[in-house]
């Protein structure tokens, strides 16, 4: 890369303080409209940029990477997930990929806990009742939800976010259970008073609440398959703040609509931003627009990580949040 300021193309509008700093440090092309770029616009950006800053809404597949210009050497993604980027294709083209891990842990764990409460206590239904003018006063058997104190919470994916959720859940009196690719360190289990389940199937069949906190990878696509979803108890609540592709959404809708699953709290969807109409019609689901990490502090921290990754790379060093190293 030449020693002049690199050309950085940003695909979506970022916090003003981040955009200002980028303009100071790099030759930067911003997206003031915040409209997601079309595929043609992405291809054009990748043909001329030194560095691309995409978000999770930008699908950077092998074809786009194959058509990128020789100047493109870094994809500095604004986000933690990397399932929207074809890493193998990037590696083959000698393009480094970075992300922004760690800064969204507390925000996403907050949202998971909020959805556990909202789905269990029917907060969405209650809010719609009041707004719709259909609430006629308190009644002994009106809007009865489920107490979460003393219930069993099964966490799928005990990474940073799963562990942060476990800490919050303990404060609400929940019993912590988890399934993970690798068992947590004994000290972490002791701190969280967490029970490890080697078998996801066995854990699902025994939980009152299940929270999905694992990334979307080929191995976790439909991890909660039709068979596994049917293992959940009818009174169970399912929460997903990770990725929609982890759950077979069609079967989830079927179970919720037939009473085979009590409730769900969803911040992500399998084909987002499209949300199935059948899901929209269900009263026993809390639906959010992928806002688990949407805090001012979190977005600024993400932007600061992107800047550090770009600056480090442009200075000829290995960026701290490198996802893959190009092959020689």
Question: pLDDT-based confidence at 61, cuts 50/70/90?
Answer: very high
Question: pLDDT-based confidence at 34, cuts 50/70/90?
Answer: confident
Is 200 domain-assigned?
Answer: yes
Is 2 domain-assigned?
Answer: no
Does the structure show a pLDDT above 90 at 270?
A: yes
Question: pLDDT-based confidence at 325, cuts 50/70/90?
Answer: low
Is 1 domain-assigned?
Answer: no
Work out the number of other CB atoms within 10 angstroms of the CB of residue 35. 11
Is 63 domain-assigned?
Answer: yes
Domain check: are 204 and 77 in the same one?
A: no
Domain check: are 119 and 90 in the same one?
A: no
Range of 163's domain? Answer: 105-287
Domain check: are 282 and 300 in the same one?
A: no
Domain check: are 15 and 55 in the same one?
A: yes
Q: What does the buried/exposed string (b/e) look like for 175-200 if buried means 16 or more CB atoms within 10 Å of the residue's CB? A: bbbbbbeeebeeeebeebebeebeeb
pLDDT for res 2? 46
Domain check: are 209 and 319 in the same one?
A: no
Domain check: are 300 and 180 in the same one?
A: no
DSSP state string for 208-256: SEEEE-PPP-TTTTTSB-HHHHTTS-TT-EEEE-S-GGGB-HHHHHHHH
Domain check: are 155 and 205 in the same one?
A: yes
Does the structure show a pLDDT above 50 at 327?
A: no
pLDDT in tens, 132-159: 999 999 999 999 999 999 999 999 999 9
Domain check: are 19 and 85 in the same one?
A: yes
pLDDT in tens, 220-266: 999 999 999 999 999 999 999 999 999 999 999 999 999 999 999 99
pLDDT for res 1? 45
Domain check: are 280 and 315 in the same one?
A: no
Is 152 domain-assigned?
Answer: yes
Domain check: are 218 and 315 in the same one?
A: no
CATH code where residue 131 lies: 3.40.50.720
Burial class (CB in 10 A: 0-12, 13-18, 19+), 78: buried
pTM to 2 decimal places: 0.89
What is the percent of the chain where pLDDT is above 70? 98
Question: pLDDT-based confidence at 75, cuts 50/70/90?
Answer: very high
Q: What does the buried/exposed string (b/e) look like for 50-75 if buried means 16 or more CB atoms within 10 Å of the residue's CB? A: bbbbbbbebebeeebbeebeeebbbb
Question: Is the distance from CB of 151 to CB of 180 less than 8 angstroms?
Answer: no
Domain check: are 83 and 172 in the same one?
A: no
pLDDT in tens, 152-192: 999 999 999 999 999 999 999 999 999 999 999 999 999 99
């Amino acid at each position: 890369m030449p020693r002049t300021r690199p050309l950085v193309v940003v695909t979506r509008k970022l916090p003003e303080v981040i955009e200002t700093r980028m303009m100071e440090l790099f030759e930067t092309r911003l997206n003031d409209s915040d409209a997601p770029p079309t595929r043609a616009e992405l291809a054009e950006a990748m043909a001329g940029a030194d560095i691309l800053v995409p978000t999770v809404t930008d699908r950077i597949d092998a074809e786009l990477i194959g058509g990128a210009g020789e100047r493109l050497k870094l994809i500095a993604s604004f986000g933690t997930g990397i399932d929207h980027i074809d890493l193998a294709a990037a590696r083959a083209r000698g393009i480094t990929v970075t992300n922004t891990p760690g800064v969204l842990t507390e925000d996403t764990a907050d949202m998971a806990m909020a959805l556990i409460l909202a789905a269990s206590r029917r907060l969405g239904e209650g809010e719609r009742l009041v707004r719709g003018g259909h609430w006629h006063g308190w009644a002994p058997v009106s809007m009865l939800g489920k107490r979460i104190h003393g219930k069993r919470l099964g966490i799928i994916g005990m990474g940073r976010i799963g562990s942060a959720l476990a800490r919050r859940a303990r404060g609400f009196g929940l019993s912590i259970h988890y399934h993970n690719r690798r068992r947590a360190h004994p000290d972490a289990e002791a701190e969280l008073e967490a029970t490890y389940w080697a078998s996801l199937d066995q854990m699902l069949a025994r939980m009152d609440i299940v929270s999905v906190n694992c990334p979307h990878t080929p191995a976790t696509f439909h991890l909660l398959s039709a068979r596994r979803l049917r293992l959940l108890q009818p009174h169970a609540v399912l929460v997903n703040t990770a990725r929609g592709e982890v759950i077979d959404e069609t079967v989830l809708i079927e179970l919720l609509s037939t009473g085979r699953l009590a409730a769900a709290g969803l911040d992500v969807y399998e084909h987002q931003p499209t949300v199935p109409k059948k899901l929209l019609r269900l009263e026993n689901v809390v639906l959010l627009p992928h806002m688990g990490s949407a805090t001012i502090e979190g977005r600024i921290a993400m932007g600061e990580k992107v800047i550090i990754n770009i600056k480090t790379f442009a200075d000829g060093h290995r960026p701290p949040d490198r996802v893959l190293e190009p092959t020689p």
